[in-house]
């Protein structure tokens, strides 16, 4: 009997982690006619919510917490998903096929999905325990940070990745004095080309943000009472005055449960293209999972994005129900800073040439990354239409001459019709 055939009305699906990935797989399973019990455990007290606005519209106060909710409570009721919010799962007992909740309650499962996400990487330097050092991963983090974003205060942001730059954009609008420290020689260095980094650096500087690159953080100096941060101390010997600090230096995947249960973990819970872990009855999806061999990129990679979380949820649901999985698409992501909508598709590392279409001065352009003549990635700024086309160009690994890509007199639609695949 196959694993799928064994799942009937008496079976139990347990999902650990009530973020977007967990919520998606729970409701999809019911849509796919899974007949058994579906239990969704989440250690936060909220309905599953969307994290992207945490550093954007929610932090700025443009939207309230209600607008973060991913699916209304009624969607879980309709799908007969049992929400167990505010409940942490502390152990997986694979031999007995049960999980243990904090407090010791055991819950039996037939299939298990790990959707445990990740946590903000902590900065381990002297003074890191001082008050007024903030991180940004969940609603509670924003609720702690937001009241501190008062006009005139000096905010030092450590890390010029998406989260750091998005917070800088919000804080400068609130009239704080914002300094961003980045250890690499340029902002967004891990994800984009120097041209894009230069564009974003210029935009932030013109808005009033001070950006210092090539700066490492060695520690924090306290105020006289020893409670709060007064200065950020750089490895290069500078002291940067601060009333508050935001650290945005990436994410650590929540893999401990999986590790203790003996699943294969390597910078994330290792999964195949159907989101299956090394135990065929346990799946892992979203930020906690690492693709052993990403279906599109053909390499080992952990992707932190909503589209990836939802795609892996769909793959897991299909696999559990014994249905074919759609092939993995080129990963994509977005970031909102000021009035700039950045949308990125594919992975640009290893590119040989970057071609810019449109004028950077107009803040509306798209950068294509080419390798061996093939378009491997694209970053679009305020070009949603071109981004849709770019998703196809990257997805179909098209080869188009650089001069044609840069020529705005030829539409991308025309290029798609004529380019080589």
Ligand X SMILES: Cc1cc2nc3c(=O)[nH]c(=O)nc-3n(C[C@H](O)[C@H](O)[C@H](O)COP(=O)(O)OP(=O)(O)OC[C@H]3O[C@@H](n4cnc5c(N)ncnc54)[C@H](O)[C@@H]3O)c2cc1C
Site residues (CB under 6 A) for ligand X? 16-22, 41-44, 51-52, 54-55, 88-89, 115-118, 136-137, 163, 254, 257, 286-287, 304-307, 309, 333-335
Q: Residue 45 or 373: which CB sits closer to ligand X?
A: 45
Q: Residue 318 or 415: which CB sits closer to ligand X?
A: 318
State how far the Cα of 315 lies from the Cα of 325, in Å rounded to an integer: 5
CB 169, min distance to ligand X, A: 12
- The structure tokens 């381990």 sit at 124
Q: Residue 116 or 179: which CB sits closer to ligand X?
A: 116
Sign of CA dihedral 148, 152, 154, 156: positive
State how far the Cα of 400 lies from the Cα of 366, in Å rounded to an integer: 15
CB 329, min distance to ligand X, A: 13
State how far the Cα of 216 lies from the Cα of 213, in Å rounded to an integer: 9
Q: Residue 107 or 401: which CB sits closer to ligand X?
A: 107
CB 22, min distance to ligand X, A: 6
Reduced to 3 states (helix: H, G, I; strand: E, B; else coil), residue 154 is strand
CB 306, min distance to ligand X, A: 4
Q: Residue 44 or 148: which CB sits closer to ligand X?
A: 44
Half-sphere exposure of 238 (CA within 13 A, CB side): 12
CB 34, min distance to ligand X, A: 19
CB 139, min distance to ligand X, A: 9
Q: Residue 261 or 370: which CB sits closer to ligand X?
A: 261
Task: Give me the helices (H) in 115-255, please.
Answer: 139-145, 162-173, 194-207
Q: In what order do the strands lie in the sheet with 364-371?
A: 332-337, 340-346, 374-381, 364-371, 353-359
CB 334, min distance to ligand X, A: 5
CB 79, min distance to ligand X, A: 17
Taking only Cα atoms into account, the Rg of the chain, rounded to an integer number of angstroms, comes to: 23
Q: Residue 51 or 204: which CB sits closer to ligand X?
A: 51
Q: Residue 234 or 308: which CB sits closer to ligand X?
A: 308
Reduced to 3 states (helix: H, G, I; strand: E, B; else coil), residue 180 is strand
Q: Assess contact for 179 and 210: CB atoms under 8 A.
A: yes
- In order, the DSSP letters of 302-359 are ---SHHHHHHHHHHHHHHHTT-PPPPPPPPEEEEEETTEEEEEEE--TT-SEEEEEEE
């Amino acid at each position: 009997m196959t694993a799928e055939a064994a799942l009937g009305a008496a079976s139990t699906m347990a999902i650990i982690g009530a973020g977007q990935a967990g919520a998606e797989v729970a409701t999809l399973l019911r849509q796919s006619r899974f007949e058994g019990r579906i239990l969704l455990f989440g250690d936060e007290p909220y309905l599953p919510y969307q994290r992207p606005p945490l550093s954007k519209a929610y932090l700025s106060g443009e939207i309230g917490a209600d607008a973060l909710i991913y699916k209304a409570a009624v969607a879980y009721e309709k799908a007969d998903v049992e929400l167990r919010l505010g409940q942490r799962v502390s152990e997986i007992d694979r031999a007995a096929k049960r999980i243990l909740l904090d407090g010791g309650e055991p819950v039996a499962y037939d299939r298990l999905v790990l959707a445990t996400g990740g946590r903000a990487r902590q900065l381990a330097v002297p003074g890191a325990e001082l008050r007024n050092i903030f991180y940004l991963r969940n609603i509670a983090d924003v609720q702690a940070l937001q009241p501190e974003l008062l006009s005139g205060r000096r905010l030092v942001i450590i890390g010029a990745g998406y989260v750091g730059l998005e917070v800088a954009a919000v804080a400068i609008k609130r009239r704080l004095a914002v300094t961003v420290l980045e250890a690499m020689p340029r902002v967004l260095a891990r994800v984009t080309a120097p041209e894009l980094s230069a564009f974003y650096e210029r935009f932030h500087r013109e808005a009033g943000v001070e950006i210092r690159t090539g700066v490492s953080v060695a520690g924090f100096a306290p105020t006289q009472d020893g409670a709060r941060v007064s200065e950020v101390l750089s490895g290069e010997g500078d002291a940067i005055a601060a009333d508050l600090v935001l650290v945005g230096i990436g994410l650590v995947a929540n893999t401990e449960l999986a590790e203790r249960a003996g699943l294969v973990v390597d910078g994330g819970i290792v999964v195949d293209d159907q989101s299956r872990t090394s135990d065929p009855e346990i799946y892992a999806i979203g930020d906690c999972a690492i693709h052993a061999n990403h279906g599109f990129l053909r390499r080992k990679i952990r992707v932190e994005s909503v589209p990836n979380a939802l795609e892996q949820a769909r793959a897991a649901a299909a696999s559990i129900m014994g249905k074919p999985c759609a092939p993995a698409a080129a990963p994509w992501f977005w970031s909102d800073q000021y009035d700039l909508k950045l949308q990125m598709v594919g992975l640009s590392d290893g590119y040989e040439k970057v071609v810019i279409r449109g004028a950077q001065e107009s803040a509306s352009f798209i950068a294509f990354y080419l390798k061996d003549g093939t378009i491997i990635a694209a970053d679009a700024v305020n070009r949603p239409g071109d981004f849709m086309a770019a998703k196809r160009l990257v997805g179909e690994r098209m080869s188009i001459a650089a001069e044609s890509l840069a020529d705005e007199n030829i539409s991308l639609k025309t290029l798609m019709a004529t380019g080589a695949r």
